[in-house]
Chains A and B, each alone.
Chain A
Amino acid sequence: MNDMTPTREQREAQLQGMGCKRKRVEDIRFTQGKGNYVDDIKLPGMLYGDFVRSSHAHARIKRIDASKALALPGVIAVLTAEELKGLNLVWMPTLAGDMQMVLADGKVLFQNQEVAFVVAEDRYTAADAIELVEVEYEELPVLVDPWKAMAPDAPVLREDIKDKTEGAHGRREHYNHIFKWQVGDRPGTDEAFARAEVTIKETFYYHRTHPCPLETCAALASFDKVKGELTLWGTFQAPHVVRTVASLLSKIPESKIHVIAPDIGGGFGNKVGVYPGYVCAIVASIVTGRPVKWVEDRMENLSTTSFARDYHMTTELAATKDGRITAMRVHVLADHGAFDACADPSKWPAGFMNICTGSYDIPVAHLTVDGVYTNKAPGGVAYRCSFRVTEAVYAIERAIEMLAQKLGVDSVDLRMKNFIRREQFPYQSALGWEYDSGDYHMAMQKTLDAVGYKELRAEQARKREAFKRGETRELMGIGVSFFTEIVGAGPSKNCDILGVAMFDSCEIRVHPTGSAIARMGTKTQGQGHETTYAQIIATEIGIPADDIMVEEGNTDTAPYGLGTYGSRSTPVAGAAIAMAARKIKAKAQMIAAYLLEVHEDDLEWDVDRFQVKGLPEKFKTMKDIAWVAYNAPPPGMEPGLEAVSYYDPPNMTYPFGAYICVMDIDVDTGVAKTRRFYALDDCGTRINPMIIEGQVHGGLTEAFAVAMGQEIDYDEAGNVKGASFMDFFLPTAVETPYWETDYTVTPSPHHPIGAKGVGESPHVGGVPCFSNAVNDAFAFLGSTHIQMPHDPWRIWKAAERLGLHQ
């Protein structure tokens, strides 16, 4: 060795592997306007599709007359249910085991439902033509309130299944009932409540909202009649699932369907499902023989594709007088809208709502979820959270606050008393989950110390006194939340989508010159997979991340995977990467042993090379080995250096965190100002701290939006209110608080690199934290629960109810 030989540290730094703040490779194209999103794609002869949508929430369709539209120059076709009948495509299966209309079949069930699809030479002509399609409706009684869905005289929404007493998830108790899902020990729970010294009960309404990525949903279908092949570009978080569904629906063999998800402008759960627009674009391309593009506008996006939440959660806790929680009972009334189009794993009609015992050691619990139909848009997607985990965490974290209030103790002390202790992991929860790892006490304590919690409470006490004396009109709220996520669906034994097990995959090919390409079953929508996945590979096999290209989204080249949502990319695909890389490393070790003329066991891995134990100057780098693997492999060994892994995780991962929010509320205007927000996240092994921090910032901002005003609401006639940026609350840079982030590291014991996933944690933990802050501000005045969203009007109303404006 001479002075020019790089040190171990230099070699390590050159890899830009796990743990470093590698700058994103995606940014090079995005900052120059060279991203490639669906609407950026232009094909020769491309047509544009646009929907005629229902103005009514519930109505029978008496007549559709498209003649005037068809007479407009430039209009090529108008599809209605009649046209789709020949293809048996009027209805399509949802991911939740229900059926959904592609185009209105005799009636409409929610406002803005797709009624007809106009195909024209350009998007302006298509927009003109939808105005010319005449639809005659006969209005029907509208059902908006889910609490009235199962009344004996409720209007029949789904005539197609009104006599079916069995649904995809068991018995239906009413024609507007979708399922009843029960988990836990009912008698044991009832008994614990009967014996309880203290109980609390409240119905927390987690309002309907929408993931609202900045890019709306879009698809471009191109059917080649000669080859019988379909190419479909789209905003797909799960491109392989789309290919399978497209094949099942169209009967085109899966080998002749090429699904491509190009760059995606944010997803947050919006782009998991299959929507009528995708199906109509495909059908229109088959019918016209030309490529057909469909792009939602913002109102269509907010009012039709994939709402989130809409859970009415009646939550009860039982406890001893000294604050030991003894039982939890939850009933959820789930408003699913007109079709059950939840994007959950098939066997989980309410997602993972049974994570609702949260971070606490609750000995017995019972959960019931009743899903019902209403005249609202279908969906129920996991908006920046694993399936229904945001709802679950909101319920327990509000309940903890209410219990603390009733017991007259600080909610932090109540949490500390009931946390699952470090030595209890792996922990079996009362509702059936096995939590992998955690150190909740340490995370909570670190958070308290960081914000100076005691001093904050002292300041709050002083302010409350000042408020009572009339010296200020401002209330101070301190919001605490502690959450445990459940991500990484999932073990195939309990998670599938339409029967496809929820594994994920990675294929790595190391090239002869020592660079590599990795192809994945997941699909980034902004998470930075091209950057972070390469870091995992770099650390595993010693090839610099800059020499590794990560490719996703092309189903022709990528191994089959279930896509990106529910924070599953790192827990599942991240594991597949490590496993594939380790297969490569094992072969590389054999080659190195051959070249160095030693036994494999005499070699050790060192950053980017195998070296002979005790003789570090005798080594072969991965780059050396790659060349040999192709050009002079050991006798009897297959040439090449590549591997594929399909990873079926043994368990979910359970990221957790502790958040604290300090808020000042003006009781006369209802305006709440977040003074401070501190977020500690534990996502296990950290792959790229810069990207983790970015994910936390983004998730917290979406949590802020949801908690403080973002909603999709309906009036009594089923008109969707506020489905545009005129009303739908998306925080700007001005309202968005400043975020302080921190972390602890508790690796997942079952994940090959110990990583747990992080993208959704801040949303899951953030929403209850904001809501707890608002509620905490008013708690000393006797208020026990104020419903979200906490926009100034609703906060003002809460103050009014408490008599603060007299």
Chain B
Amino acid sequence: MSTIEQVPVTVTVNGKKYQRFVDPRMLLIHFTREELNLTGAHIGCDTSHCGACTVEMNGMAVKSCTMFAVQADGASITTIEGMAAPDGTLHALQEGFRMMHGLQCGYCTPGMIMRAHVLLKENPDPTADEIRFGIAGNLCRCTGYQNIVKAIQYAAAKLNGRTVQEAAE
């Protein structure tokens, strides 16, 4: 049991407002995973390299292992759990990752999709090279990235109203 004095945090996650008292040193990733039971984002390293913990905060992709929950006070956060429409329809990125075989073990996927989500807001129609550069803060050990690039292109095409490529090679 921690002896550190707890402090209040108010955040809006996936459209829902949460108020909690937490240790000031609690990382945002532990807050979302353990306080809010949103276990989609994962921890893959100790050094902010892997991006498995990526969430969207106030429109930016952030590595939630690299900030404290208290720093998110007042923020609006979207996690992978908030990506599908309320009726369950998958987001174009979620669909694209499945259609183009952009995942294998699934561990990096929530962070990768959240980074791609913000990337497509920054650059709605990126080239393959721009996607590769844009997701360089997220590591994947399974796919070799090639199909992740295709998955993001699939989503970009769909979000831009273009016909999408049917299937992965």
Contacts and interface: CB of A to CB of B under 8 A. Distances in A.
Interface of A: 21, 23-24, 26-37, 39-40, 42, 73-74, 121-125, 212-216, 263-266, 268, 297-299, 525-528, 690-691, 693-695, 697-698, 700-702, 724-726, 730, 732-734, 736, 738-739, 741
A724 B83 contact: no
A305 B160 CA distance: 46
B31 interface: no
Given A40-B39, A733-B149, A694 B101 contact: yes
B143 interface: yes
A695 to B, nearest CB: 8
Contacts of B98: 23-24, 27-28, 31
A124 B26 contact: yes
A33 B79 CA distance: 9
B155 to A, nearest CB: 11
Which of B37, B81, B110, B145 is most buried by chain A, counting CB atoms within 10 A of its CB?
B145
B63 interface: no
B2 A122 contact: yes
**Most chain B CB within a 10 A radius of its CB, from A212, A527, A733:** A733
Contacts of A31: 80, 90, 93-95, 97-98, 103, 106, 109, 113
Interface string B24-47: 011000100110011111111111
A33 B49 contact: no
A690 B166 CA distance: 13
B25 A124 contact: yes
B146 A697 contact: yes
Given A121-B1, A693-B101, A733-B131, A263 B167 contact: no
Nearest to A734: B136
B106 A30 contact: yes
A214 B39 contact: no
A298 B45 CA distance: 5
Interface string B130-166: 0111011111111111111100000000000000000
B106 A73 contact: no
Nearest to A730: B139
B120 interface: no
Contacts of A74: 1-2
Given A30-B103, A266-B105, A732-B136, A693 B168 contact: yes
Given A30-B103, A701-B144, 20 more contacts: A31-B97, A33-B40, A73-B2, A74-B2, A124-B2, A213-B141, A214-B42, A266-B142, A525-B105, A690-B101, A693-B168, A693-B169, A694-B142, A695-B104, A724-B46, A725-B47, A725-B49, A730-B50, A733-B138, A739-B146
A212 to B, nearest CB: 7
Secondary structure type dominating chain B contacts: loop
Contact of A215 (B2, B44, B49): B44
B30 to A, nearest CB: 8
Q: Give the most central of B3, B52, B105, B133: most A CB within 10 Å.
A: B105
B105 A214 contact: yes
B84 interface: yes
Contacts of B135: 732-733
A263 B106 CA distance: 9
Interface in B65-99: 79-81, 83-84, 90, 93-95, 97-99
B23 interface: yes
A268 B142 CA distance: 9
A265 B133 CA distance: 24
A535 to B, nearest CB: 14
B38 A125 contact: no
B130 to A, nearest CB: 11
A32 B94 contact: yes
A436 B146 CA distance: 32
30 contacts: A21-B167, A24-B98, A24-B101, A30-B103, A32-B84, A33-B38, A33-B79, A39-B43, A121-B1, A122-B2, A214-B107, A214-B140, A263-B105, A266-B104, A298-B45, A526-B106, A691-B101, A693-B101, A698-B143, A698-B144, A725-B49, A725-B50, A726-B47, A732-B132, A733-B140, A733-B145, A733-B149, A734-B132, A738-B146, A739-B146
Given A32-B90, A263-B106, A265-B107, A690 B145 contact: no
A173 to B, nearest CB: 39
| Central interface residue in B45, B79, B144, by most chain A CB within 10 Å | B144
Contacts of A738: 146
Among B41, B49, B50, B149, max chain A CB count under 10 A is at B49
Contacts of B113: 31
Nearest to B96: A31
Contact of A264 (B43, B44, B105): B105
B141 A702 contact: yes
B108 interface: yes
Given A124-B23, A124-B26, A528-B104, A726 B80 contact: no
A694 B104 contact: yes
